[in-house]
Amino acid sequence: MKIGLIGGGNISNTHAKAGCAIAGVEIVAVYGTNSGKVNQLSRDHGAVPYSDFAAFLAHPMDMVIVGGPSGLHASQGIAAAQRGLHVLVEKPIDISTGRADALISECRKAGVKLGVIFQDRFKPDICRLRDLIQDGKLGRPLLVDARVKWYRPPEYYGDSRWRGTWALDGGGALMNQGIHTVDLLLWLLGDLKIIKARTATLLHNIETEDTALALLEFSSGALGTLQATTAAYLGYPRRVEITGTEGTVILEGDSIVKADLRAGRVALIRERVGDQNPSSSSPVVTDFRGHQLVVEDFVRSIRENGTPRCDGADGRRSVAAIEEIYRLAWRIHD
């Protein structure tokens, strides 16, 4: 399986490491606008560097991993699909449902696979939590509290041409960082609707929000709250608390830290094998194992003609939820 990388930044380096760790997978080409980063990434992984997108797409390969600015995901993915290449996109699928729909439609038309990278869906304790819910051991969900109190320093935005912009980031703390938790809530608990929302730019000098709050209602009838920020110095692990009729489970970071159920306390996994990245305080991904599992799953879906764990339609759901949060928040501002 020959893979081409779109993007030369930190996340594309993660994609490269994830791909190289899989037997039978090879990184063969890298495209990006920063020649220094693209050349270095290509040297590190024995790939051919490209600054011309059309030339990159003409390179012999089977699939691409799209890792550039979020607002380019759909257009770049569509171009790859039209060349018959399978498309794996870093979250979000793009910054609007309209663009997501265009990419989904083009991949379907071209007969290629489309997947979205949400590595939380592969982490052991998160999978255990989903099993607890689906097996009914938590009972009927009643109350959900999700907090993403992260921190990014000023240079995270200041040194980037696209972070914190509407045109290329599509939002701020919610669309870039909080989207993982939005997807997690949808994956664990099903469809939701946004009741109320408020966004604000409280700390950073950016176009978009660095803080967002939302009141949620799930299809099960459960109520919930969501907080997302990049202004909480020094940054704290993501925390999700879910209470059902049979008890409460608390997820901190990627680990279940408490599970009090009427049927008895659930033994916690002591040996963690999920991602160990300091996401709350740094965008640098040092532990690529979660991404490796995503790439393995996508490659498997190609070889076996299956469906990725998060396909295009599933990846669209988190963007739709965030669009609604922004719509309600802007209505309050207006």
Tens-place pLDDT, residues 201-251: 999 999 999 999 999 999 999 999 999 999 999 999 999 999 999 999 999
pLDDT at 314: 98
Exposed / middle / buried, residue 324 (Cβ in 10 Å: 0-12, 13-18, 19+) = middle
Measured CA to CA, the distance from residue 121 to residue 206 in angstroms comes to: 30
> Which residue segments constitute the domains of the chain, with CATH numbers given?
2-117+291-310 (3.40.50.720), 123-280 (3.30.360.10)
Exposed / middle / buried, residue 282 (Cβ in 10 Å: 0-12, 13-18, 19+) = middle
Q: Which two three-digit tokens encode residue 313?
A: 């339609």
Measured CA to CA, the distance from residue 334 to residue 322 in angstroms comes to: 18
**Can you list the residues of the chain whose pLDDT is less than 70?**
265-276, 332-334
pLDDT at 269: 52
Measured CA to CA, the distance from residue 24 to residue 195 in angstroms comes to: 47
pLDDT at 40: 97
Q: Which two three-digit tokens encode residue 268?
A: 């916690």
The three-state (H, E, C) secondary structure of 85-114, written as one string: CEEEEECCCCCCHHHHHHHHHHHHHHCCCE
Q: Which two three-digit tokens encode residue 272?
A: 């963690």
pLDDT at 334: 47
Q: Which two three-digit tokens encode residue 218?
A: 């799930």
Q: Of the candidates 156, 179, 151, 144, which has an alpha carbon nearest to the alpha carbon of residue 236? A: 151
